Amino acid sequence: TMQFYYNKSADYKIPVASTQKLLTAVLICQAGGLDEELVIPKEVYSVEPTVVGVKPGEKYTRRQILTGLLVRSGNDLAATLAIDNAGSVEAFAEKMNLYAKALGMENSNFKNPHGLPAEGQYSTARDIALAAFEAYQIPDIREIVKLRKYDFVFNSGKVYELYNTNKVLSSMDSCNGMKTGFTYAAGNCLVSSASENGQDRIAVVLKSYRPAVYTDSQKLLEWALALEIEKPEVEGEEEPEAGGESASAANETKPTHAETVALR
């Protein structure tokens, strides 16, 4: 089960960039066949960066593509998985929306699997926390999002070293994932998770900036890990002393949206 500990503007509808790839990953894992091969579609040529650089006609396992998606955030990999799963990006987005509603994500509307800007696409910190909670239950995703580096081997034999941009993985020993995101509209976003002494926590920070998105996420996780598990949801009280524009920011010149979740 999950328990919300702290939120700020958690139901405000905004772009969430690549953090929505967690929902994409959930759908792909639930479909199964991760170790089966897929064929890269021609549509990858029209996908905007960040891209890993796979080419139409190449073959990879879904696990390879999923790992590259979550570690390096390749938008071409997101499109590949979506088309493989549903036949088109649009059809996959419909599946995302149906599943989001089933999870209780009441303030989200997805247009693509990767989070690139699209008219009418939005989510909230609370909804992304629900998606992250679902992703956290899947062992395959848990194993991937904790990786700091992944060697993506192209069909040609060339190796592309993919580095995880979640800096909390290296700054906080108990951090074990999850997903970064950035667009100019969404700002810097981070879903981060941590496990310590049998307690699991997830923090969502959206519409932030660097380096605050990392430092604030870590402070939220550390604060939440120190709480008693029975503590009820906090609405702006006893918040962690984070800087920048995160959940507990003193400087509120721009909207920032955060949610901190406990799992038990």
What CATH code is carried by the domain that includes residue 183? 3.40.710.10
Helix (H, G, I), strand (E, B) or coil at 245: coil
Active-site choice (8, 42, 55, 73) = 73
Average pLDDT of the residues in 79-88: 99
246 flagged as catalytic: no
Is 90 exceeded by the pLDDT of residue 40? yes
Of residues 235 and 215, more confidence is placed in 215
Q: Specify whether 193 is catalytic.
A: no
The number of residues in the chain equals 264
231 a catalytic residue: no
Q: Torsion angle, CA of 90/93/94/95, rounded to 10 degrees? A: 130
* Per-residue confidence (pLDDT) for residue 245, from 0 to 100: 32
pLDDT digits (tens, 9 = 90+) for 159-198: 999 999 999 999 999 999 999 999 999 999 999 999 999 9
Domain count, the chain: 1
Binned at pLDDT 50, 70 and 90, residue 76 comes out as very high
CB 55 within 8 A of CB 146: no
pTM for the whole thing? 0.89
Residue from 240, 231, 234, 185 nearest 212 by CA = 240
pLDDT of residue 230: 56
- Name the catalytic one among 8, 9, 13, 21: 21
Strand partners, 199: 196
Query: Which residues touch 226 (CB under 8 Å, ≥6 apart)?
Result: none
- Among 8, 9, 13, 18, the active-site one is 18
At 55 the pLDDT is 98
Residue 231 — very low, low, confident or very high, per pLDDT cuts 50/70/90? Answer: very low
Residues spanned by the domain of 24: 2-263
Look at residue 241 and tell me whether its pLDDT is greater than 60.
no
